[in-house]
Amino acid sequence: MKQLLLLLITYVGFTSTAVAQRVHIQTPDTSPQTTYAANRLKKALQERRYTLTSPADYTIRLTLDAGKLGKEAYTLAPEGKTIRITGGDPAGLIYGCLSLAEDLRNGVSLPQIKAKSENPTLPFRAIKYDLPWDTYRHSYALDQHIETCRDVAYWERFLDMMVENRFNVLSLWNLHPYTFMIRPTNFPEATPFNENEMKEWQTLHRAIFRMARERGIDTYLVPFNIFVSPEFAKAHNVAMNNLEHHHFVDGDTSAIVRRYTRECVTQVLQEYPELTGFGLTLGEGMGGMTPQQREDWMKATIIEGMRQAGRKSKLIHRIPFSSTTGSLGVTSVETEKLTRKSIEAEGDLAFLEGPVWADLKYNWSHAHSTPKLVKVHGGKLYDTYFKPTPTKYKIVWTARNEDFFCLRWGVPEFIREHISTNNQPYLGGYILGSETYIPAKDYFTKTTQPVDWTYAFERQWLFYKLWGRLLYNPATPDAIFKAEFIRRYGPAGSTLLEASALAGKTPLRLASSYDFTWDFSLYSEGFMALQDKNVKYISVDRQISHPPLDPDYVSVADYVKTVSLGGSFAANKITPLVLADRLEQDCRKALSLVAPIKTAGNASLMYEVADVKAWANLGLYFAEKLRGAVALQTYRTTGGEINKQKAITHLEKALRNWDEVVAITRPIYHDMPLVHFSEQQGNTRAQNDKLRFHWAILRPEVAKDVEIARQAVK
């Protein structure tokens, strides 16, 4: 009863209007960053019915003090009728104003504001954004975002989200971005657009970079290499084998391609002074080249182009994932030594602002698995980049998400553990994002009722808020995230953070128990994985035989083999049955937390609750599937009709849980195009573009698990 009363009082604080009081905001200058900070604060004050005027009852004084505070740090200090917000730099001032604005939105009045201060734990907190024109992979699933991503209003909302969540880097990835940004002075034939079309592209890019700068967000352009525009290729008879821009091809290193690339880099930096820097990615379009040749190419083109731009810029150097001449290869100590030498040399270049950000993929393409580092792209990571501790560069981990695009996700304890596990002195930060999903057009939502979002990234607000705020300050309490639920949904939102955290462990546990490599090798949201060169449902047989990623997890096959021989496992080992019990415990609790929530008349809340229910039922399905897999493998190994019947029973229960997922999601989600289907073997591009994902579509495959058990023999 006391908890309910407290929630009601809190909710009244959210919804009641403030006592009409006059407020004046004093600013130290009129820079774009200060103006943005003050405007965000003004908006929050006006929403709370404060009057902005002078003289005033309250004064909010914005100041800068680089001597006392570091970069991006801030303090918020109430002093009687004055609240002083001090930033160590313009970004820190923005964060301080956003912190006060957050308190105001959460129902805290100016007299109730408490002193606080924050300092960034990690200096590099980035979003990986694959632009939908000239994409890494070609698919309708990516093409559908072009119109949205050409709208400046979309980018304003996206950048607002970034700064609210303390992301400070936007990295824009594209196979060959130059011809969408410039008409190369010496190669005008490379750009396919007329003057009006070129002006539209340039207006878009300038707006993105300008708005990012206003928000204290750095911007990096990350082109893949080696690519040229089809128009350039035809005009000069180069790279004619790759007019369609496939990413795994041999590189054309002819002199004219080298000159063209270098001049494009220089011209882009000169025409876009608000662009912060470039990124190097070594591999795609560089088949047939040794690691040394790839490094030499980057030095002669992008690095030299940056030097000739005549201004300072910054650099992301993606760690190469191939030690061979193939586009896909394996890691090696020799390649690590070569790469470290190159990065350290870049760190000494006067035209580059340090440190260089050395980027590695955390657990390949699926960081949402275990917080332990098991592998990087290409396989094993040695210690070359860490010992001795680097001084010219900082490591940044790319946390790729190729595992959930539709269902909302948020597990704060996982992110905190991820950061604490990897917060060594050489760590600079994280890059968060996908390569097979663009968070722009909402192609999921089926309801005709009004919802409180427009764009896809706004559906996943908790995902971005958790990662961004915790990368900035891992000590950010859950109360901050819980308060956001309550602000959005009132008392009904009070249990949603806990429910999300419990149900959201489902994809993490699947990815920890099922080993993977590149993008398509696992799609946790759909319980699909790469098999026979196609992405397929993970059958019970596949679950039995496939090894885990996390070394603490035990596969079904190894578990049954060990137990059948009378063996046992150490206490830290997570066996299939232990995993099943944990899944069931967490998912049933998540369902109990959302069961009382009434969603009638609030479609946005309905979707939040539905996604928790979907994840929870997927977790219960997974638990029963694991139990069924153990029983089935036990029957095949040692016999016993009771084991066969247990397998059938558990897999029938798993099917019922899957049916519950279908019942939840079929009315509210469209069948979804996925890039995972864009490389189905034997299909044309047109055929692949018609392929769709929904849990209902996979239902016959799930039912086959039951038949597999029924037809099993010892």
Residue 51: CATH number of its domain:
3.30.379.10
Residue 356 counted as domain residue: yes
Inform me whether the pLDDT recorded for 473 exceeds 70. yes
Is there a single domain that holds both residue 428 and residue 546?
no
| pLDDT tier at 248, thresholds 50, 70, 90 | confident
Inform me whether the pLDDT recorded for 632 exceeds 80. yes
| pLDDT tier at 20, thresholds 50, 70, 90 | low
Is there a single domain that holds both residue 110 and residue 209?
no
Predicted pLDDT at 8: 44
Is there a single domain that holds both residue 87 and residue 135?
no
Q: Strand 528-531: give its sheet, edge to edge.
A: 522-523, 528-531, 534-537
Three-state DSSP at 531 gives strand
Residue 14 counted as domain residue: yes
Inform me whether the pLDDT recorded for 393 exceeds 50. yes
- Contact (Cβ atoms closer than 8 angstroms) between residue 628 and residue 654: yes
Q: What angle do CA 673, 140, 321 make, to 5 degrees?
A: 90
Cα separation, 474 vs 125, whole angstroms: 12
Residue 383 counted as domain residue: no
Q: How many domains does the chain have?
A: 3
Is there a single domain that holds both residue 136 and residue 9?
no
Is there a single domain that holds both residue 349 and residue 466?
yes
Cα separation, 268 vs 191, whole angstroms: 13
| pLDDT tier at 19, thresholds 50, 70, 90 | low
Domain span including residue 261: 124-367+391-403+418-476
Average per-residue pLDDT in the chain? 95
Predicted pLDDT at 407: 98
| pLDDT tier at 18, thresholds 50, 70, 90 | very low
Is there a single domain that holds both residue 45 and residue 143?
no
Inform me whether the pLDDT recorded for 641 exceeds 90. yes
Nearest alpha carbon to residue 217 among 412, 423, 32, 350: 32
| pLDDT tier at 222, thresholds 50, 70, 90 | very high
User: Domain holding 305: CATH number?
Assistant: 3.20.20
Mean of the pLDDT values across residues 497-526?
98
Domain boundary among 458, 476, 494: 476
Nearest alpha carbon to residue 399 among 386, 414, 385, 380: 414
What HEC string does 588-602 produce? HHHHHHHCCCCCCCC
Domain boundary among 118, 138, 170: 118
Residue 486 counted as domain residue: no
| pLDDT tier at 330, thresholds 50, 70, 90 | confident
Give the Å distances, CA to CA, from 292 to 142, 289, 298, 334, 339: 33, 8, 10, 10, 9
Residue 483 counted as domain residue: no
Is there a single domain that holds both residue 429 and residue 545?
no
Q: What is the pLDDT of residues 394-439, one digit of tens each?
A: 999 999 999 999 999 999 999 999 999 999 999 999 999 999 999 9
Mean of the pLDDT values across residues 18-24?
78
Is there a single domain that holds both residue 208 and residue 66?
no
Residue 488 counted as domain residue: no
Mean of the pLDDT values across residues 521-543?
96
Inform me whether the pLDDT recorded for 326 exceeds 90. no
Domain boundary among 428, 458, 476: 476
Residue 328 counted as domain residue: yes
- What pairs with residue 59 in β-bridges? 24, 82
Is there a single domain that holds both residue 42 and residue 183?
no
Is there a single domain that holds both residue 92 and residue 142?
no
Nearest alpha carbon to residue 161 among 98, 111, 72, 117: 98
Q: What is the pLDDT of residues 39-88, one digit of tens each?
A: 999 999 999 999 999 999 999 999 999 999 999 999 999 999 999 999 99
Q: What is the pLDDT of residues 277-297, one digit of tens each?
A: 999 999 889 999 999 999 999
Is there a single domain that holds both residue 98 and residue 180?
no
- pTM given for the model: 0.96
| pLDDT tier at 2, thresholds 50, 70, 90 | very low
Residue 704 counted as domain residue: yes
Is there a single domain that holds both residue 136 and residue 109?
no
